[in-house]
Amino acid sequence: MTEGGDDAVMPATSGGTAESPSGPRLDVVAIGNALVDVLASAKDEDLDGLGLVKGTMALVDQARSESIYAAMGPATEASGGSAANTAAGVAALGGRAAFLGRVADDGFGMAFTHDIRSIGVAFDPTPAPAIPGEAVTGHCLVLVTGDAERTMATHLGVASDFGSVDLHGGHLSSTQVVYLEGYLWEQPSAKAAMREAIEVAHGNDAAVALSLSDPFCVEHHRAEFLELLKGDLEMVFANEDEITLLFGAPDFDAAVGAVTETGVLAVLTRGAAGCVVVTAAGAVEVPAVPVERVVDTTGAGDLFAAGFLYGITNGLSPEASARLGGLGAAEVISHVGARPQADLRALAVEAGLFS
Question: pLDDT tens digit string along 155-183?
Answer: 999 999 999 999 998 999 999 999 999 99
Mean pLDDT of 51-55: 93
Dihedral sign (CA 78, 188, 232, 255): positive
Mean pLDDT of 144-148: 90
Per-residue pLDDT, 13: 37
Per-residue pLDDT, 295: 86
Tell whether 183 is covered by a domain: yes
Tell whether 10 is covered by a domain: no
Per-residue pLDDT, 11: 44
Mean pLDDT of 86-113: 96
Per-residue pLDDT, 71: 96
CATH of the domain at 53: 3.40.1190.20
Domain that holds residue 38: 28-350
- The chain-wide mean pLDDT, for the chain, equals 91
Confidence of residue 9 (pLDDT cuts 50, 70, 90): very low
Mean pLDDT of 45-64: 93
Name which of 5-19, 301-315, 336-350 the model is least confident about: 5-19
pTM of the model: 0.88
Does position 229 have pLDDT exceeding 90, yes or no? yes
Task: Give the tens place of pLDDT for each residue, 283-320.
Answer: 999 999 999 898 878 789 999 999 999 999 999 999 99
Does position 14 have pLDDT exceeding 70, yes or no? no
CB 321 within 8 A of CB 306: no
User: What is each CA distance from 129 to 155, 157, 256, 290, in whole angstroms?
Assistant: 17, 12, 45, 45
Per-residue pLDDT, 132: 87
Tell whether 1 is covered by a domain: no
Per-residue pLDDT, 348: 92
Q: Label each residue of the chain as H, E or C.
A: CCCCCCCCCCCCCCCCCCEECCEECEEEEEECCCEEEEEEECCHHHHHHHCCCCCCEEECCHHHHHHHHHHCCCCEEEEECHHHHHHHHHHHCCCCEEEECCCECCHHHHHHHHHHHHCCCECCCCCECCECCCECCEEEEEEECCCCCEEEEEECHHHHHCCHHHCCHHHHCCEEEEEEEHHHHHCHHHHHHHHHHHHHHHHCCCEEEEECCCHHHHHHHHHHHHHHCCCCCCEEEEEHHHHHHHHCCCCHHHHHHHHHHHCCEEEEECHHHCEEEEECCEEEEECCCCCCCCCCCCCHHHHHHHHHHHHHHCCCCHHHHHHHHHHHHHHHCCCCCCCCCCCHHHHHHHCCCCC
Percent of the chain with pLDDT over 90: 80
Confidence of residue 265 (pLDDT cuts 50, 70, 90): very high
Per-residue pLDDT, 329: 94
Mean pLDDT of 54-62: 90
How many distinct structural domains can be found in the chain?
1
Does position 69 have pLDDT exceeding 90, yes or no? yes
Per-residue pLDDT, 23: 55
Does position 48 have pLDDT exceeding 70, yes or no? yes
Percent of the chain with pLDDT over 70: 93
Task: Give the tens place of pLDDT for each residue, 192-218.
Answer: 999 999 999 999 999 999 999 999 999
* pLDDT: which is higher, 202 or 17: 202
Tell whether 34 is covered by a domain: yes
Per-residue pLDDT, 225: 98
Mean pLDDT of 325-333: 94
Tell whether 247 is covered by a domain: yes
Per-residue pLDDT, 10: 52
- What contacts 322, CB < 8 A, 6 or more positions away? 267, 275, 277, 284, 286, 307, 308, 311
Tell whether 4 is covered by a domain: no
Confidence of residue 280 (pLDDT cuts 50, 70, 90): confident
